């Protein structure tokens, strides 16, 4: 018999597309897990190639827990053991294959809190804006919008074409939060991880998830230089 805890599980669905920026996804995932949130993970086929290119990690369906642990342990600078992520810490992560259109989150009756697409490629932006369901990532995004749940789309592309800008406006009008992966410097960044964590922190802010990933603005000029 299922426990009450499992019955009441309401995860954030994190979709990872093929855009460059897998460290952003790793930071968001660590932030969600640190906050005690449940996570459903969808890794697109294209993102596996990006992950392999950016980190050297192959993401395999049959060994996703081990591969995810290795990914989350890697820092944005490429160091493999920058974070401590034991495999057992992933007990409340559920993985769904990108081609599984019968997966739980593909239905509006599945109890999800919302969805974070990080990073979001222009192809995924277009697919979601047009209401396509070419893979599970796009399908879950469409479900999230129709159910009026929070959808945060972390666009990682530059420059942006006029067509992509129109699609981003369409997402905004549909109720999504369009959040470009644009790190800020007022938080006193001294390392590439600080810039990555700033973007991840803004994603969690948009989702209403508490975190301590970056130094917040306090209205004091020069505060960044005095931080630390």
Q: What local confidence, expressed as pLDDT, does residue 132 receive?
A: 95
The proportion of the chain whose per-residue pLDDT surpasses 70, expressed as a percent, equals 94
Largest Cα separation within the chain, whole Å, is: 57
Nearest partner of 117 among 33, 53, 203, judged by Cα: 203
Cβ(30)–Cβ(209) under 8 Å? no
Cis peptide, bond prior to residue 159, ω within 30 of zero: yes
Structure tokens at 137: 């990532």
CA angle in degrees (0–180, nearest 5) for 43-66-204:
50
Is pLDDT of 227 > 60?
no
Q: What local confidence, expressed as pLDDT, does residue 187 receive?
A: 87
Model confidence band, residue 226 (pLDDT cutoffs 50, 70, 90): low
- C-alpha span between 161 and 144 (Å, rounded): 26
- C-alpha span between 228 and 223 (Å, rounded): 10
Model confidence band, residue 87 (pLDDT cutoffs 50, 70, 90): confident
Cβ(119)–Cβ(181) under 8 Å? yes
Cβ(167)–Cβ(52) under 8 Å? no
Q: What is the pLDDT of residues 155-193, one digit of tens each?
A: 999 999 999 999 999 999 999 999 999 999 988 899 999
In whole angstroms, how large is the CA radius of gyration of the chain? 17
Structure tokens at 132: 């396509």
Is pLDDT of 220 > 90?
no
Q: What is the pLDDT of residues 5-40, one digit of tens each?
A: 456 899 999 999 999 999 999 999 999 999 999 999
Global pTM value: 0.93
Q: What is the pLDDT of residues 58-78, one digit of tens each?
A: 999 999 999 999 999 999 999
Angle between helices 136-146 and 122-129 in degrees, nearest 10: 50
Average pLDDT over residues 55-60: 96
Average pLDDT over residues 101-110: 97
């Amino acid at each position: 018999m299922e426990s009450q805890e499992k019955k009441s599980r309401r995860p954030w669905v994190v979709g990872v597309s093929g855009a460059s920026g897998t460290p952003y996804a790793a930071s968001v995932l660590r932030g969600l897990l640190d906050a005690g949130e449940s996570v459903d993970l969808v890794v697109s086929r294209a993102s596996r190639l990006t992950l392999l290119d950016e980190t050297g990690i192959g993401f395999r369906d049959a060994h996703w827990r081990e591969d995810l642990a290795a990914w989350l342990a890697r820092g944005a600078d490429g160091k493999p053991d920058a974070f401590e992520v034991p495999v057992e810490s992933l007990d409340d992560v559920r993985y769904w294959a990108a081609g599984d259109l019968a997966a739980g989150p593909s239905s509006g009756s599945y109890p999800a809190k919302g969805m974070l697409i990080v990073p979001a490629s222009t192809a995924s932006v277009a697919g979601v804006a047009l209401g396509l369901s070419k893979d599970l990532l796009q399908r879950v995004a469409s479900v999230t919008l129709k159910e009026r749940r929070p959808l945060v789309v972390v666009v990682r592309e530059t420059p942006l074409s006029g067509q992509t800008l129109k699609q981003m406006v369409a997402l905004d009008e549909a109720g999504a939060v369009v959040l470009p992966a644009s790190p800020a410097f007022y938080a006193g960044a001294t390392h590439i991880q600080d810039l990555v964590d700033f973007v991840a922190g803004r994603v969690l802010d948009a989702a209403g998830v508490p975190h301590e990933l970056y130094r917040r603005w306090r209205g004091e000029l020069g505060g960044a230089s005095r931080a630390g």
